[in-house]
Amino acid sequence: MMRQYELVERVQRYKPDVNEALLNKAYVYAMQKHGHQKRASGDPYFSHPLEVAAILTDMHMDEATIAVALLHDTIEDTSATRQEIDELFGPDLGKLVEGLTKLKKLDLVSKKAEQAENLRKLLLAISEDVRVLLVKLADRLHNMRTLNHMREDKRLRIAEETMDIYAPLAGRMGMQGMREELEELAFQYINPEAYRTVTERLAEVSERNKGVIAEIENSLSELFTKYSIKATVTSRQKKPWSVFRKMEAKALSFEQLSDIFGFRVIVDTVEQCYLALGAIHTTWSMVPGRFKDYISTPKQNDYRSIHTTIVGPSRQRIELQIRTREMNKVAEYGVAAHALYKDTGGKVSASHSISKETNAYAWLRRTIEQLAEGDNPEDFLENTKLELFQDQVFCFTPKGMLIALPRKATPIDFAYAVHTDVGDTCVGAKINGRIMPLMTELKNGDEVEIIRSKAQVPPAAWESIVVTGKARSAIRRATKNAIRKQYSGLGVRILERAFERADKTFSKDVLKPVLHRLARKDIEDVLASVGRGELSSTDVMKAVYPDFKDERVTQAPKQREEGWSKIRNAAGMLFQIPGRGSPRKGSRAATGGAVPIRGVRGDLPVRFAPEGAVPGDRIVGIMQPGSGITIYPIQSPSLTAFDDQPERWVDVRWDIDEETKERFPARISVIAINAPGSLAEIAQVIAENDANIHTLSMVRTAPDFTEMLIDLEVWDLKHLNRLLSQLKENSSVSDAKRVNG
């Protein structure tokens, strides 16, 4: 176990003016608090925070961060308190320690909502001070290095969580070295057989190619000497997880991989990067399509380098990375490479945190914005994982602004990346000057111009097209808002009707004083709840007028039945039932005389009762709490169940576009002779009449007869009646009739 003076010496190597008093105090305090606690390995527990601190010294972190590492488990696992740490080390450092304490382990076997809430806490804590992330990743790295001491089931859970969350998060923050080690350690436990096989094959290839690697390094070094370029050339071998992932993604065998080895060229300046590139390309042929300049266009995590592939001295393909020493440092340590803190006497201040202008932090800010926009936990978890794992393409606005997007992103993703309002009003896109479909996959360098319309509402179907979390969240939010608006409008009409029956005048203002009685936070909530059927108009009336009595409750059954007939024929709320798509031009919905229901757009869900309804039927709609409107034929016996709930009745009518053919559901009962081939004959009659069988069930009612219940899809009532007539004429059929409820 590392001694106290050894820790101080490690920090002094890169920070000679280290605050020794702070490190000594944190070391002694943590050691005393953890006392005789043991880890699963049997080692003293204090060895863990000490190793976490050592990992951070390798990243050249300041003494305040090292002190936080030493203390990070004290509040959670010992008798230490936040107040005590504040008194000894200051409130700023205490806040960091408490922030780490509150980060519960992300348990992948628990409910998604719980995992998502823990991820929220992690990202929020990181957004305040990135050193929380650095300590957390160092903590996870040491836990992974000692994972073999845990139970097997726990090892797998921790490894999966590391591969799902921590490794990609390290990558997004530019900490490639940390990411690769976390992935390799997790790979060992997630798929030990594959890890062992890939590792053995890599060792064989490495041994076999020692001479070739040395030859390539010498050739490159000689080339740079010739051009008077001061450069360091090193070889690198792909990590086992990277090899395995590529084999799986591209369905390749190990022998088909051509980039197991690569070479890194490190120079002093950006100018030398391009000089080295010129020397290489004028000496050896470049492989087309394998050149990427991340210096002029850095990755989102601040990674900068030139990538190229050449046909080398022995006619083999060679991957090269060319970068400066500073770029190499950022590539290895990411945000930690920016950690240049002023000497504050051990005090921690957010103003000394890593620059919020780095690309990595820009991504984190966007993720936090999504948090603030109120996604439910499951959506947030899904969207954040999408953001973590996606590779990127770089596109431009017409004014030259660079937009980084995941691979397979569409113009819709681009629009939402520019601004949520741009995405919500997007109706089309020009890619490199040409109008292209919104589902077009964007490529590196595309210039994208978004065509907008204020009348646009993002269709729910867009959610299946986009790939970014931000776009998905915004589309879901817009869809929910549109549905809420529809329900709110319906609620207004229901309440207007209810107030009119009571000889009262309805206005939204009358709801303000009674919101607390209705347990709703605002007027729109009340209206939407009434529209969804979650809150009855009677309850609202009683809240506004406590002495109100619903006279309908005391009506005789016959009077109620007469009342229902009037409601069915003259309700104040008129809905149209369109075919697929929006209401056709010139329809009542289009001119504002009715509330349109756009089924495929998800604005207000509409479905048919089990017995179905077809054009030609008189129909009525019943509001279903939380699930929209169910359409019944007026003769359906099922409607009697809603006789005491008049506020749920909605008059509807068909709005069928004759140019757009669409079938509708109906249920029929067929009693057939129980003989071989009778079912085939019935099916043939249905097929010849251009109807479609959706479901069929048979119940033997007598030795000689079988009753069949058939759910059909037909064009209209005439079509259904014609089909029933032809079924009755069939020699195998005793009777055929429509089923209504």
Q: Which positions are annotated as active-site residues?
A: 76-77
Please give the structure tokens belonging to residue 520. Answer: 């709703």
The H-assigned helical ranges of 210-269 are 210-226, 240-250
| Measured distance CA(727)–CA(734) in Å, rounded | 9
The residues near 285 (Cβ < 8 Å, ≥ 6 apart) are 310, 311
Question: Token pair 């069949």 is at which residue?
Answer: 708
The residues near 559 (Cβ < 8 Å, ≥ 6 apart) are none
Given a contact cutoff of 8 angstroms between Cβ atoms, the answer to whether 265 and 220 are in contact is yes
| Measured distance CA(542)–CA(550) in Å, rounded | 9
Torsion 271-274-276-282 (CA) sign:
negative
∠189-190-193 over CA atoms, to 5°?
A: 80
β partners of residue 452: 426
Please give the structure tokens belonging to residue 562. Answer: 């007469």
Name the helix (H) or strand (E) containing 730. none
- Using a 10 angstrom Cβ sphere, with 0-12 exposed, 13-18 middle and 19 or more buried, the burial of residue 402 is exposed
Torsion 630-634-636-641 (CA) sign:
positive
Please give the structure tokens belonging to residue 357. Answer: 């202008």
| Measured distance CA(159)–CA(166) in Å, rounded | 10
In 3D space, the residue among 702, 701, 629, 632 whose CA is nearest the CA of residue 665 turns out to be: 632
Question: Token pair 């479909």 is at which residue?
Answer: 437
CA dihedral 80, 84, 86, 88 (to 10 degrees): -100
The Cβ of residue 570 has, within 10 Å, a number of other Cβ atoms equal to: 9
> What's phi and psi for 324, nearest 5 deg?
-85, 170
Given a contact cutoff of 8 angstroms between Cβ atoms, the answer to whether 657 and 626 are in contact is no
Question: Token pair 């009449």 is at which residue?
Answer: 689
The H-assigned helical ranges of 147-296 are 152-161, 167-172, 176-190, 192-208, 210-226, 240-250, 270-283
∠32-11-58 over CA atoms, to 5°?
A: 100
- Using a 10 angstrom Cβ sphere, with 0-12 exposed, 13-18 middle and 19 or more buried, the burial of residue 505 is exposed
Given a contact cutoff of 8 angstroms between Cβ atoms, the answer to whether 148 and 188 are in contact is no
CA–chain centroid gap for 536, Å, is: 35
